[in-house]
A and B are shown apart, each in its own frame.
Chain A
């Protein structure tokens, strides 16, 4: 995909890391202040989607793999976490962990199949596998089919803290989001992340340098699926509902859109993108079905006119890396 040329490569990276740190601090401050001004449920949902988009971006932005089936991990994690909290009676943190583990497992199986092909085929295979799991969700008894899993209890965190309070829940979601975000940042800036970027730039060269690229790709895929699952599992607890929407193909498309709008291969892009898209859906709710059309138009505009996305464009203009 789009190569983000680093204009400052080779120079001391002081200003660059500072820019990222400043934006990060601003983001955290904004998210701490936000629930006092905005509808907390909306913010929590947006953070779940932001984490989902960041996880997706790990794959497309840093390994160059376009997965068109990320709803699989997001949706199935939310089913398992909802089921664990409601039927098994697990505490929320364990329910979320169970959901995340499910996503990791699905990611391992689907990833092992999908990385056997490249490019467009990779996208089609991930989409088809996700659709298969959608049909499983539709027919399996415990998912409740069209009804979904309703009335999921938020429960007590560690068995102690009551999450029915919106603000307490908000703090938990914020912590999960920031934890996931920093973890992804860490991956990208590790030696492992450097290899991933080398694969994105030129896979053949990476192979000739002795890297087993398939293994790297698979690990990246599983990591991405796991984090997407963390987001989905959390969302199920927040909204107290797991449903088919989260596991169906439009959800896979939506996360692509969020990342594309924000900026592929940028750290903050997916966060900005998901807030923008959710806010648009929230504000444009009155015009109903036009949302689908508008999303389509944004897709087309992004692909034709600004492939760098919002954050990518800003970073490009300011000659910094975000």
Chain B
């Protein structure tokens, strides 16, 4: 077997692959957080719970309507996105004039409600969601074994991330969004319905989280606490990248996933903490984050 730095290549590339997959989820979630923060100035603490809801939506669609993985990939984000729109209309809208911290507290409360409901209904052991038939099996690349589904996750999330980036940076819609972030009053003067834009932005950010949830369902089990475990790491990712840039969120997400994967090979004990350590270092060197603008 091929060895690199004394490490068998299967282990090295395998952990790199797992790192990239984790990175895909970091990127998708921190992208959603960044989009929401840009428009609403709120840190969406329920983002992890909404990711979990996406996975459960896929699970329930399969159980009760027989809709499989591929339709769920589209239907589940729409459904969860709609709940996001309702949340924004009912609750978040009342908080825009207050300190931003209240938005954090409110969404934290919502996260508890969502997680608690899921735990009540489904227990906390995690439910299995089977792989779609078309992505079963894997490729033996010689230096490693690549399960098809995992390859698909990386490609799909990269596609969604770049698509979102393109829309926001290069289209007219994106231009409105960016303008509304900078100066909502002025944009309203152009006859654009800013509150509706805010609502839809939140819905879209939530749908992104749910999309990540559906993708995660076959890899990780569908469990109520899957989101809360992830969201704190994603917060660290966001602090490292800085919230200023969409592309920054994507790059940091994938990059940190890879670093985490490498840590698993060379120093497995630190793999859980490496992202937080990087965060501490970045705070010392560049408090505004790698891609952030100084506030």
Contacts and interface: CB of A to CB of B under 8 A. Distances in A.
Are A and B direct contacts in the complex by CB distance below 8 Å? yes
Interface of A: 1-2, 66, 68, 113, 116-121, 123-125, 127-129, 131-132, 135-136, 138-139, 249, 253, 256, 260, 288-300, 302-304, 307
Contact of A128 (B102, B110, B116, B276): B276
Interface residues of chain A: helix, strand, loop or mixed (majority): helix
Contact of A300 (B104, B109, B233, B280): B109
Interface in B108-123: 108-117, 119-120
B109 A298 contact: yes
A120 B280 contact: no
Give 4 closest A-B pairs by Cβ, nearest first. A299-B109, A292-B116, A296-B112, A296-B113
Contacts of B111: 296
B293 interface: no
Contacts of A288: 120
A302 to B, nearest CB: 8
13 contacts: A68-B104, A113-B283, A120-B100, A127-B232, A260-B105, A290-B116, A292-B115, A296-B111, A297-B109, A297-B113, A299-B109, A303-B105, A304-B95
B284 interface: yes
A214 to B, nearest CB: 12
A253 B108 contact: yes
B109 A125 contact: no
Contact of A131 (B43, B102, B110, B232): B232
B40 to A, nearest CB: 12
Nearest to A3: B99
Residue of B95, B112, B284 contacting most chain A CB atoms (<10 Å): B112
B287 A116 contact: yes
Given A117-B287, A256-B105, A290-B120, A128 B112 contact: no
B273 interface: yes
B235 A117 contact: no
B110 A300 contact: yes
Contacts of B232: 127-128, 131, 249
B277 to A, nearest CB: 7
B4 to A, nearest CB: 27
Contact of A132 (B120, B269, B277, B295): B277
A307 B117 CA distance: 25
Contacts of A307: 102
B112 A299 contact: yes
B269 A292 contact: no
B202 to A, nearest CB: 16
Contact of B91 (A125, A139, A289, A300): A300
A128 B113 CA distance: 22
Contact of B101 (A120, A136, A304): A120
B273 A135 contact: yes
B236 A128 contact: yes
B105 A124 contact: no
A265 to B, nearest CB: 13
Interface in B2-39: none
B185 interface: no
Given A132-B276, A260-B105, A303-B109, 8 more contacts: A1-B101, A120-B43, A120-B104, A293-B112, A296-B110, A297-B109, A299-B108, A303-B106
A67 to B, nearest CB: 11
Contacts of B239: 117, 121, 124-125, 128
Contacts of B91: 300, 304
A68 B283 CA distance: 17
Residue of B91, B273, B295 contacting most chain A CB atoms (<10 Å): B273
Contacts of B233: 128, 131
A125 B104 contact: no
Given A120-B100, A303-B109, A304-B91, A296 B235 contact: no
B279 interface: yes
A135 B268 CA distance: 13
Contacts of B106: 299-300, 303-304
Residue of A1, A113, A121, A127 contacting most chain B CB atoms (<10 Å): A121
Contact of A66 (B101, B116, B283, B295): B101
Interface string B244-279: 000000000000000000000000010011001101
